[in-house]
Structure 1
């Protein structure tokens, strides 16, 4: 982070109600208490802000690019359009914050807490949110391309119409997550919990589902061309109108427990016929020898 300025933290804390557009960049402000402050468009680029408190502060348009915010507390803060690109946000408390339009490109956000946060139209391109808690958050129309969310909690999150191509959600909990209309090309969802997940009209071409639980998931009208379904659980999984052309490792007995319709496009090695129980019996066709 380079050499940092040594500013009078007590003086800054005393002025926290009037720090709009303040230039505090490249400073050592570890542990500073700016809770309840007014810091609209404050410049805190490349600062040491470990364990700093911004609880219930107004920091709309705040600039935190490249700063170390390990363990900082933003509970209840307003952070509309704040810029956290390439910042260290591991262990940060973002609960009940308004982060709409915020930027987190290439940020390190391991084990951060986002419950109750508004994350609509946020940018997480290439951010690392390993084991972060985003349960129930709103991420509508956000940029999560190449994000790393291994082991993250996204249960009940709302992420419709977002761009998630090549994101890594392996071992994540996405129970009941709303992903309808998302571009998820090339995503890694291996060993993820995807019970009741809404994938309607998603583009999931070349996505990896190996070992995931897709019980009750909804893939209506989704494109899954070239996806890998090895060792997946497909009980009551809805593939109505889905394109499963070129998928690999899709077991016939597993697909027989799923929901299909006349519009479902199957890979060339599987055949589905309607049965008396109202479902479909899926069989594997003989492979053609070269």
Structure 2
């Protein structure tokens, strides 16, 4: 079904068909299916994908700058080495996606499911996450310095070497996250769940702001009776 010359809606597209529409300057796809398609290295710059599915699709090294992804489902998709600078993802299911070596400067993820996603070696200056699930995600080495982290569930996430200095956590969770060599000086952790933090990691919170109840939790782990 085609709404007009600029929007393709409600059909399944393979690589060749997508390339044809792109060559005709179509940049809006609504309710289309790209499941398991190999879309490697395509130029998708400026495209809007709304309620589309990319389950298991390969978008290796795609040009995705300034794209918009609205309520899309792309579980297990590979975005490795993609250029997604200034891309916008809202309300998307991106569980178990691969972003290794992608360019994600100034990209934003709002209301997204990113459980198990891998962001290894990405370029992420100015990236923004909000109200998103990042349970078990690999975000090693990320810098969130001075950022406001609103409702991010980072439970069980791999956060080794992350920089959270002067960050403000508004809700969300760091429960059982791997925090080896992470930096929290000046961070405000009062609004987040830090249960399950290993006592060996407690030292990295030196200089961070925590609540009375969070401090009591640390003391209980040390064997003190807090009354």
TM-score band by shorter chain is 0.7 to 0.9
1:201 aligns with 2:157: no
User: Shift of residue 127 of structure 1?
Assistant: 2.0
Q: Does 1:37 align with 2:11?
A: yes
Out of 92, 109, 113, the position equivalent to 1:138 is 113
The answer on whether the counterparts of 1:221 and 1:243 sit within 8 Å (CA) in structure 2 is no
Q: RMSD over aligned Cα, in angstroms?
A: 3.3
Residue 85 of structure 2 aligns with which residue? 110
By how many angstroms is 1:93 displaced? 1.2
1:63 aligns with 2:38: yes
Instruction: Render the CA deviation track for 1:188-229: whole Å, top value 9, x for unaligned.
Output: 334443222300001111113344432322221124xxxxxx
Change over 3 Å in CA distance of 1:171–1:38 after alignment to 2: farther
Higher relative contact order (CA 8 A, sep 6+): 2
Show the counterpart of 2:68.
93
| C-alpha distance after superposition, 1:170-201 (max 9, x if no partner) | 45442121111111111233444322230000
Residue of 27, 52, 57 corresponding to 1:82:
57
CA distance in 2, matches of 1:185, 1:118: 25
Give the superposition deviation at 1:115. Answer: 1.0
**Alpha carbons of structure 1 residues 128 and 215: separation in structure 2 relative to 1, 3 Å:** farther
TM superposition score normalised by structure 2? 0.80
Could you say which residue in structure 2 is the equivalent of 1:121? 96
Q: In 2, are the aligned partners of 1:64 and 1:83 still within 8 Å (CA)?
A: yes
Max Rg structure: 1
Q: Which has a greater percent of helix?
A: 2
Unaligned ranges ≥5, structure 1 = 1-12, 15-30, 224-241, 266-272, 279-290
Aligned: 1:147 with 2:103: no
CA distance in 2, matches of 1:274, 1:40: 63
Retained in 1: the 8 A contact 2:183–2:204? no
- Distance apart, 1:259 and its partner CA: 2.3
8 Å CA contact 2:148–2:169 kept in 1: the answer is: yes
Counterpart CA distance in 2 for 1:101 and 1:42 is 22
CA deviation vs aligned residue, 1:134-174 (integer Å, no higher than 9, x gap): 11211112212233444333222011122222234445442
Alpha-carbon separation, structure 1, partners of 2:211 and 2:89:
38
Partner of 1:121: helix, strand, or coil?
coil
Aligned length: 221
> Comparing both structures, which one devotes a greater share of its residues to strand?
2
Q: 1:133 to 1:78 in 2, by over 3 A?
A: same
Matches within 5 A, 1:230-241: none
Query: Which residue of 192, 201, 204 corresponds with 1:247?
Result: 204
The answer to whether the Cα contact below 8 Å between 1:94 and 1:115 also exists between their aligned partners in 2 is: yes
Where structure 2 has 5 or more consecutive residues not aligned to the other structure, the ranges are none
